């Protein structure tokens, strides 16, 4: 158990690529933190610096109260699980899990205790006598995690541990990691490019892009109040819709105007905008697909759209719409209450109306890409 503190951590590779810029984060003891972001944003580099597998070019790294910038990986009291499991093929699952403990000259009795306990937690007891190649991908990944658990590390580091698994197994293992976390009560730093994994696993998530932290927060905070367009688009699936719109400051308060419709903002939004002294300006309006309602008839604040694609997902439809000024909009529509007549209206080329309440609207400055209210 330990906290991990990154102060102004920086990584410049030999080829002068700056992979991580001024990374500041305090990971609390027993916290589960997820680094998430697109390929190449510096997630693995940051994790590998914590592990000691990569030199730190600048800044201070602490595990607990100890500065570990120059401490050998084996002396950092961490264990890392990689994407490609890296099991030893010629020895049994038991010996794979026991390997690091034997290196530490632990007694056979203690090794037996730890390996069988970890195998129990992971549900792989019956495979202890097998070789890795006699296991499925998911079972191998469990062995790789088991190998880390037996070391009883202060900090668990995981770099995309599920990305080699098929979708079904990945969902199952994700749930198992949530359970695992309850059983092995320690600090986790987990890297993924998958926002669903980040949202479901993390106490807090760190959204990264191009070597910079974009936002740190609980999954709910990052979802509800994305600080900029990048975070807004990255978190949530299908992606948030972005529409060209205009913010009007009027005598009665602020309104958002798009496609001939004016939607008044709510009290909180009004207070925040006027406190920041924001005037009338062009904006990029963000609205999530699940926060948009479909109407079959025009109402006061409804926006006219044309159906482009209707994707049947079973419990819901994903409608791809285009607005009058060609913005494309995706809407999630539950199927359960749709009548046969309504279903038949949801065909390519038909007109529809959409609407959303003020509270689900995210307002971004098109130039700075920042959230006008939350940044």
Minimum gap (Å) between residue 345 Cβ and ligand ATP: 42
List of residues 6+ apart from 156 with CB closer than 8 A: 78, 79, 80, 81, 148, 184, 186, 187, 188, 189
| Residue 107's binding partner out of ligand ATP, Mg ion, none, with CB under 5 to 8 Å set by partner kind | none
CB of 40 to ligand ATP, least distance (A): 4
Q: Residue 163 CB, nearest distance to Mg ion (Å)?
A: 9
Residue of 357, 361, 233, 368 lying closest to 285 (CA atoms):
361
Q: Which is nearer to Mg ion, 5 or 192 (CB)?
A: 192
Nearest-approach distance from CB 216 to ligand ATP, in angstroms = 16
Compare residues 54 and 176 and give the one whose CB is closer to Mg ion.
54
At 160, is the secondary structure helix, strand, or coil? coil
Rounded Cα distance, 29 and 31, in Å: 6
Candidates 41-49, 67-75, 217-225, 252-260 — which segment interacts with Mg ion by CB under 5 A? Answer: 41-49
Q: Which does 40 bind (CB under 5 to 8 A by kind): Mg ion, ligand ATP, none?
A: ligand ATP
| Alpha helices (runs of H) in the chain, residue ranges in sequence order | 43-51, 93-103, 108-122, 137-149, 167-183, 195-201, 219-224, 229-234, 267-275, 340-345
| Residue 44 within binding range of Mg ion, rule CB under 5 A | yes
For residues 316 and 337, give the distance between their C-alpha atoms in angstroms, rounded to a whole number. Answer: 10
Of Mg ion, ligand ATP, none, which one does residue 45 interact with (CB within 5 to 8 Å by kind)? ligand ATP
Compare residues 42 and 153 and give the one whose CB is closer to ligand ATP. Answer: 42
In the three-class reduction of DSSP (H, G, I as helix; E, B as strand; rest coil), residue 35 is classed as strand
Residues that bind ligand ATP (CB under 6 A): 13, 15, 17, 19, 37, 39-45, 193
Per CB under 5 A, the segment of 44-52, 72-80, 203-211, 363-371 that binds Mg ion is 44-52
**What's the closest the beta carbon of residue 200 comes to Mg ion, in angstroms?**
19
Q: What, of ligand ATP, Mg ion, none, does residue 39 touch, CB below 5 to 8 Å by kind?
A: ligand ATP
41 interface partner picked from Mg ion, ligand ATP, none, CB below 5 to 8 A per type: ligand ATP
Which 3-state string (H, E, C) describes 170-198?
HHHHHHHHHHHHHHCCCEEEEEECCHHHH
Handedness of CA 60, 63, 68, 72 (dihedral sign): negative
User: Residue 46 interacts with Mg ion (CB under 5 A)?
Assistant: no
Nearer to ligand ATP, 14 or 337 (CB): 14
Q: How far is the CB of 177 from Mg ion (least distance, A)?
A: 18
User: Do 246 and 260 touch, CB atoms closer than 8 A?
Assistant: no
The single-letter DSSP state of residue 280 is S
Of the listed pieces 39-47, 237-245, 308-316, 365-373, which binds Mg ion according to CB under 5 A?
A: 39-47
What is the C-alpha to C-alpha distance for residues 180 and 164, in angstroms, rounded to an integer?
19
- Write the Ramachandran bin of 200: left for phi over 0, alpha for psi from -120 to 50, otherwise beta: alpha
- What is the contact surface with Mg ion in residues (CB under 5 A)? 44
């Amino acid at each position: 158990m330990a906290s991990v503190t990154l102060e102004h951590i920086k990584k410049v590779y030999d080829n002068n690529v700056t992979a991580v810029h001024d990374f500041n984060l305090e990971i609390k003891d027993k916290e589960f933190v997820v680094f998430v972001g697109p390929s190449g944003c510096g997630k693995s580099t940051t994790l590998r610096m914590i592990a000691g597998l990569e030199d730190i070019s600048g800044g201070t790294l602490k595990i607990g109260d100890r500065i570990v910038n120059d401490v050998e990986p084996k002396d950092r009291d961490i264990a890392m699980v990689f994407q490609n499991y890296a099991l030893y093929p010629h020895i049994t699952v038991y010996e794979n899990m026991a390997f690091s403990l034997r290196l530490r000259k632990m007694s056979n009795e203690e090794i037996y205790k730890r390996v069988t306990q970890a195998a129990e937690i992971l549900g792989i007891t019956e495979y202890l006598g097998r070789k890795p190649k006699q296991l499925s991908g998911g079972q191998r990944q469990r062995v790789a995690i088991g190998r880390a658990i037996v070391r009883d590390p202060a900090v668990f580091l995981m770099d995309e541990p599920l990305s080699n698994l098929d979708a079904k197994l990945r969902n199952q293992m994700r749930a198992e990691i949530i359970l695992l976390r309850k059983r092995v009560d320690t600090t986790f730093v987990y890297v993924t490019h998958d926002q669903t994994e980040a949202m479901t696993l993390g106490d807090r998530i760190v959204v990264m892009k191009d070597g910079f932290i974009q936002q740190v927060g609980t999954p709910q905070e990052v979802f509800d109040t994305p600080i900029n367009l990048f975070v807004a688009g990255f978190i949530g699936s299908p992606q948030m819709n972005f529409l060209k719109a205009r913010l009007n400051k009027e005598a009665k308060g602020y309104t958002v105007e798009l496609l001939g419709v004016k939607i008044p903002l709510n009290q909180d939004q009004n207070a925040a905008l006027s406190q920041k002294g924001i005037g009338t300006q062009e904006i990029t309006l963000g609205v999530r697909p699940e926060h948009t309602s479909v109407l079959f008839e025009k109402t006061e604040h409804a926006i006219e759209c044309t159906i482009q694609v209707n994707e049947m997902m079973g419990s819901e439809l994903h409608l791809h719409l285009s607005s009058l000024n060609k913005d494309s909009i995706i809407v999630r529509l539950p199927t359960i209450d749709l009548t046969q007549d309504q279903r038949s209206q949801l065909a390519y080329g038909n007109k529809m109306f959409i609407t959303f309440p003020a509270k689900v609207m995210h307002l971004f400055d098109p130039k700075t890409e920042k959230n006008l209210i939350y940044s």
